[in-house]
Structure 1
């Protein structure tokens, strides 16, 4: 599936900003189920300095600084991505025999044990503590001897069924425990809750930021800017030692508790992955500091659609060039 993603962020400041520095995670990732065909990041006003780097989690990010007075900032990421349908969750050996208890034991500290990079996603992070409340919510899904992937799917289904998706019910910095206690939130909250549940049981999981192709209601036109960023969870499952001769190979499997969808590589071909981290704080689309006390208003508009639909609905500039 070919998808174009147009993500526009606009700050209007109530006064002039003298200097600003920003970091953005707005470039889609290249993965086994996703290929970036083109990407363009447009910034207005033109930055005085700009650089692209790769962060510790392997995400592409852009830093830029503004060193002249301005009262508006527009950042527009325009990407063209080719996605593939994910493989279904495996249900045969060796994955089938990998129970959640065996996964937990794999990551329990042992002297001289080989390092598994997924272990960095076991611990508490700024937005996701490890807490008994998470473990208690997860336990009905994690019955003794249950295969890890089956248990993760059951947890995803429980979050989807028992929590209510409600826009504006939380803020970007609402603690995951508060969202769990009130029983409602948005996709970021659902992802943080699932992370907290898994990590509180000693199981590694990471946060995935991205986009989801949404369809307008029947008979209604698609609107430019009406979509939004999305978030879901990747769960790591190592292969049993007898399948790897003592190695530590394994795979990440994606679970979206907001939409109750999962798959090996992504939850679906209508998903676009941006970045992965411990939680939202690692992969915020845009953050920064400004030199001024000016207040501001923020407007974010996201469109995810096949490239040809942009023209049909009056989209702006043509697709970014493919080099």
Structure 2
């Protein structure tokens, strides 16, 4: 049997470079080597593309760069190939599928998906449009509103508006009040997010968010519980069961997710069958509203006082680390990581995304 060649693309220039390396390590270890020839290709923080053939554990630790060789994915649709550059000579390696295990900017936002569309190479995950709109929290909320998906109240503004900070603070206080959450519109893994409890912390939070993006979003704080579920599929997606997030910190920020061992997830979530049904139904609705494909993780709040289920955000390339909810939810449903990777590759190969030939 001829093995298909799969590139696992990792690293990147975003603030989630390290998380991407951890996700890629898990994916590479779980892909069936009898069915697929796996080629790890890393992007350094400086944006250099390198093909790596050493031990997988070096990807996780960051040592992989010492043993890598320059290589790029060709945008030439006739080649459908990785171009490996050795001593000034180019070796053309045909490629069947790419797994863009990239989180955040320049990877989860439609940019790498656009390159792969140009190259006519099938890839795992959402397409250009859905990747872009889901990366931008403002556009996600606009789509959710249009689809009648319940969500927290919010306002958003451009970085240039920070020149009149008093006016912004007044808008937030009038519509949302305290506490509230301030987020860059285009980051993942809770990077740059702060909880503001008064005017001073609000100003600091807005300035921090502005360091990461030119658009800032402020949301009302929902007092309640946090839940996540996994979506898998193209035209007929399947939604997993529901897991609950119990953050060690005041909210589930980057450090609480990846560095605080006291943060916990509970699978399955201790909720009623009706509550689970509601969460899963909304997850499928927003996934289809953004034209999702391949996979996504959808996050929710359940308001303590009213029991309302509110959509929080959708992540089109969720983490595959040892503590990531996406694969754990499917494992609880009886789908191993190896089976999940096989399914994702097959979904990429069969997705009707307009790729020619």
Alignment TM class, shorter chain as reference: under 0.3
TM-score (norm 2): 0.22
Higher helix share: 2
Determine which structure has the larger strand proportion and give its number.
1
Relative CO higher for 1 or 2, CA cutoff 8 Å, sep ≥ 6? 1
Q: Normalising to structure 1: TM-score of the pair?
A: 0.23
